[in-house]
Amino acid sequence: MSRKVYVTGVGLITPVGLDTKSTWKSLLQGKSGIAPIQAFDTEGFATTIAGEAHGFDPTAYVDRKQARRLDRFAQLAVGAAAQAMEQAGLDLTDGSVNPDRVGCVVGSGIGGILTLSEQWSVLREKGPDRVNPFLVPMMLADMAPGQISILYGAKGPNYCAVTACASGADSIGIAAAMIRRGEVDAAIAGGTEAPVCPIAVAGFNACMALSKRNDDPQGASRPFDAERDGFVMGEGAGVLVIESEESAVRRGAAPLAELAGYGASSDAYHVTQPSPGGEGGARAMALALQDAGMEPGGVSYINAHGTSTPMNDRLETEAVKAVFGGEARKIKISSTKSMTGHLLGAAGGVEAAVSVLAVSERAIPPTINLENPDPDCDLDYTPHHAQKGVVNAAMSNNLGFGGHNASLIFRRVA
């Protein structure tokens, strides 16, 4: 477990940008990607807004025939992976790395829900003989890492972590553990999701999770604000290339950050509500610090789960205080979900990538829409404006339905 793990590539497709550079620029500028839903007719829906990756073209990464055989969540994953591999200079055909020792772990909370819901309508309206023969491979959540593996030739272990909104973070943590154990030299890891469809919006509305601030889309996602009324769903993908220190040195790859710590826990409490005091999330953060061999004062920035739901934001604040004690008020915290919306299974991948960029680019994106701070959420959430300066270490937190908690720590490479 002594091998260092470096991040050498980052790929992002989000509601605020179709690549890493544009996403990062938008986040630093405090731009929101939330708007009225264009993917379907929202008449009759309680929520009519979301974060969509407008303009995304899968044929920039795969040919048209292949694109038609991929659900949108897998298309997004392939695109983000291609970006990350390009930045890392990772070519599995040039002999610089053994493809048998390159893993792929990309998580998704709900997989190909777009294809499944569309083909259910086909079955009902046109009969079983008209169902798409690619339905099953398109709907399976593991097809994101599966397709990346096939397209780019990664022949190591190939997994999909499904831990709701912690899926992307857990996938990166699992991949890092494989590298540390010496099972692989490098991995393509992250999260992806494309949930903006009628059944998903209706389902989250039914459990009272989504914001209904339809008349103010860009102000709807407001983590830690007293007037928050739920999260805003979004789509996208965030993928990292991570590798052992030895692999990076051998390839001449420049590390963006070290993936220093990973902690995971279960609330064992409730299917949708965090445990009292955020106890489960606190344990994940403490485990990540322990894994990294760090004291609380070593963390400069926390990319919070920060969903903009009344319960999550308050309990996550309590969890941070429990873990960091007196240091909690010194740490810059922000929720980039205020701009991207909540990308469900992709959130952990996207927010891990943002945390890497905070370290490598020496800047902290803001929490926008924090107009009326909740008295119970009284830490420094970096409201409105980005902050420039050295970020020695960044923690990324993600929590999911089912009681899943995951924390990742990225720090500067000495």
DSSP 257-280: EEEEEEEEEE--S-SSSPPGGGHH
- Report the interhelical angle of 72-88 vs 143-152 (nearest 10°): 40
Distance CA 334, CA 194 (A): 24
Q: Which of 104, 160, 197, 305 is catalytic?
A: 305
Going by C-beta distance under 8 Å and a sequence separation of 6 or more, which residues neighbour residue 62?
A: 70, 75, 78, 151
Res. 2: pLDDT tops 80: no
Distance CA 199, CA 214 (A): 18
Confidence of residue 310 (pLDDT cuts 50, 70, 90): very high
Integer-rounded Cα Rg, in Å, for the chain is 20
* pLDDT, tens digit (0-9, with 9 covering 90-100), for 383-401: 999 999 999 999 999 999 9
Q: Which of 165, 197, 377, 404 is catalytic?
A: 165
Confidence of residue 272 (pLDDT cuts 50, 70, 90): confident
* pLDDT, tens digit (0-9, with 9 covering 90-100), for 128-184: 999 999 999 999 999 999 999 999 999 999 999 999 999 999 999 999 999 999 999
Q: Which of 160, 197, 342, 377 is catalytic?
A: 342
Count up the domains in the chain and report the number.
Answer: 1
Going by C-beta distance under 8 Å and a sequence separation of 6 or more, which residues neighbour residue 306?
A: 223, 224, 312, 313, 316, 333, 334, 335, 337, 338, 367, 381
Domain interval for residue 94: 1-414
Beta-bridge mates of residue 394:
301, 410
* pLDDT, tens digit (0-9, with 9 covering 90-100), for 236-258: 999 999 999 999 999 999 999 99
Distance CA 142, CA 163 (A): 13
Mean pLDDT for the stretch of residues 326-353: 98
Mean predicted lDDT score pLDDT of the chain: 97
Distance CA 394, CA 332 (A): 10
Mean pLDDT for the stretch of residues 371-380: 97
Distance CA 368, CA 88 (A): 31
Question: Is residue 160 among the annotated active site residues?
Answer: no
- Percent over 70 (pLDDT), the chain: 100
Res. 94: pLDDT tops 60: yes
Both tokens of residue 137? Answer: 């491979």
Mean pLDDT for the stretch of residues 203-216: 96
Mean pLDDT for the stretch of residues 209-213: 97
Classified as helix, coil or strand, 292 is helix
- Percent over 90 (pLDDT), the chain: 97
Distance CA 316, CA 364 (A): 19
Distance CA 290, CA 293 (A): 5
Question: Is residue 342 among the annotated active site residues?
Answer: yes
Mean pLDDT for the stretch of residues 76-84: 98
The sign of the CA dihedral 402, 299, 34, 193 is negative
CATH number for the domain harbouring residue 7: 3.40.47.10
Question: Is residue 384 among the annotated active site residues?
Answer: no
